[in-house]
Structure 1
């Protein structure tokens, strides 16, 4: 009995020492909330000595928070934020350059262009239109096939899209329209679209969720959310507009000044590992390591052919002006945060 008690006490002491030795990382993210536990669990299978404390919100909110904390950073790592946001943070001197293990295996599109990159990419999310087929039939609405279709007055009051000031998905849409159509034609298109919008949402996934539940007929959202909801049985048709799709790199970076640099580097190393890429591919059809991605249910097989040639540097440098102009024109239909 004494030996058993000693063994139990030793085990408890060992566990306590292990817990005390665990490094904690504050990780800012815009990854979908339902996936955060999976990300941490998979990482901890390889690195149980590092605990992730998540701070999660929409892309615009996390970006604004990081900028507000510039002089007193609170995050150690950003794991899952739009590449354009990380370019903005890089330009502010807020990211610590680091060449993670396995960098050479990444596609050039999925890394900062500097020799020692300030950010590395994980996956790409792309725009899509979620259409509730039951509501479309009930309202005698045709199935859209293009972005321009959404400006047709027949859809008045039936369209919801994300606010680009808070949503990365909203911003990639607006940025892509301006790049595809040209700035003057892009704003003209958005003027017409605005007439059909019932509201602009805080998050990028909400319009598709609203379409899935019948709260709206059409939700401008992103493919990952629509594919998952359709898989769960929602009466959705996913439309990938003929003009091309805006998209964004979801990326990872170390915040300059972190007190946990070694652990932060460990996380970034893992974030571009093959195991991580296979995890991202469970929801995203395009990942940063060529040759890894397998088809994802309800995604088009030619996903990479549908995305536009996105000028991320242009989008990042013009982000503030684009968002200000958008708010000036359309913010009257934005929902409260």
Structure 2
């Protein structure tokens, strides 16, 4: 009896110690990934690595970028998983990222990685600008669907357009930086001056304008294609419009924060972030992912997205980010929603 009790206690102790080992590594991961996807991302990662627990810190792109910069001398994050490449380039310039070449890097599209060797960041997927147009509200108000960015400045659209604030939203910033690249600096600011006349509000979330269009709170929301496809799948009367001039885009990307005390676990996560399994997970919501040949068509995504993606100069966008945001805020911030 004593022996069986001893054996049982020993087995119980082993089980406890094994459980403790599984939970012993925790990573603080900063992200701008859509909130409803975080549980799925962590669960899929934990299928292969149950010994690493992810503690998410999630907010919009601009807020996460500002938080990281504020913590430069006292980093709180271990890994950044799902932040705009343009933001990571800013952090790289500040010396805040730990260069690392993850296993499987050779399979990646070269556009989906930092150009240095080893790279400071690696891409996950691309998200692209789009206009969400509510067909019911548009018909009710006699407003035809736009086909171009230029259309959004039509006088009849006054008060019926919502877009993200580029200082807080990565989607907003990719719109503004792409307009400046496509139209030139003078033409880009002139366009935004005209667009500002029609804006009802600038939101602090890139997905909110499309959610508002889906709910009938606005006719047109400048957002991104993934959110439009999701709202349409959920039954909202929205059309996803890819403007004929071309669309801005950015990558969600991953990096290790320099100085992390959990470097091995951080490398494990970054290794996993570029696996085919991870790419298939990203493809649930994104039509373009970092490894060529993996992505399958996403329901309701317009077929012409790849050909409309501009030749985005990420280095230019990152190097000019502060100046662009300062100028934008000076001109247009009066219509921004209150923060918080």
TM-score by shorter chain over 0.5 = yes
Q: Tell me the secondary structure at the aligned position of residue 98 of structure 2.
A: coil
Once the two structures are superposed, the pairs formed by residues 180-195 of structure 1 within 5 Å of their partners are 180-195=182-197
Q: Say whether residues 1:50 and 2:61 are aligned partners.
A: no
Deviation at 1:128, TM superposition (A): 0.5
The aligned residue for residue 18 of structure 2 is 18
Whole-angstrom distance in 1 between the partners of 2:139 and 2:240 = 15
Deviation at 1:32, TM superposition (A): 0.3
Distance 1:8 1:285, change over 3 A: farther
Contact 1:286/1:303 (CA < 8 Å) preserved in 2?
no
Question: 2:63 is matched with which residue: 61, 74, 77?
Answer: 61
The aligned residue for residue 273 of structure 2 is 271
Contact 2:240/2:302 (CA < 8 Å) preserved in 1?
no
Deviation at 1:13, TM superposition (A): 3.0
Whole-angstrom distance in 2 between the partners of 1:209 and 1:38 = 21
Whole-angstrom distance in 2 between the partners of 1:12 and 1:215 = 57
Distance 1:155 1:8, change over 3 A: farther
Superposition RMSD in Å: 1.4
Whole-angstrom distance in 2 between the partners of 1:300 and 1:211 = 18
Per-residue Cα deviation, 1:63-89 (whole angstroms, up to 9, x for no partner): 000000000000000000000000000
Distance 1:6 1:173, change over 3 A: farther
Distance 1:5 1:127, change over 3 A: farther
Deviation at 1:8, TM superposition (A): 6.3
The aligned residue for residue 306 of structure 1 is 308
Contact 1:247/1:308 (CA < 8 Å) preserved in 2?
yes
TM-score (norm 2): 0.96
The aligned residue for residue 178 of structure 1 is 180
Question: 2:156 is matched with which residue: 150, 154, 157?
Answer: 154
Deviation at 1:15, TM superposition (A): 4.0
Contact 1:163/1:202 (CA < 8 Å) preserved in 2?
yes
Question: 2:94 is matched with which residue: 66, 79, 92?
Answer: 92
The aligned residue for residue 235 of structure 1 is 237
Per-residue Cα deviation, 1:255-276 (whole angstroms, up to 9, x for no partner): 0000000000000000000000
Whole-angstrom distance in 2 between the partners of 1:19 and 1:306 = 50
Query: Which ranges of structure 2 fall in alignment gaps of 5 or more residues?
Result: none
The aligned residue for residue 130 of structure 1 is 132
Distance 1:3 1:230, change over 3 A: farther
Q: Tell me the secondary structure at the aligned position of residue 146 of structure 1.
A: coil
Whole-angstrom distance in 2 between the partners of 1:125 and 1:26 = 24
Deviation at 1:145, TM superposition (A): 0.1
Q: Tell me the secondary structure at the aligned position of residue 330 of structure 1.
A: helix
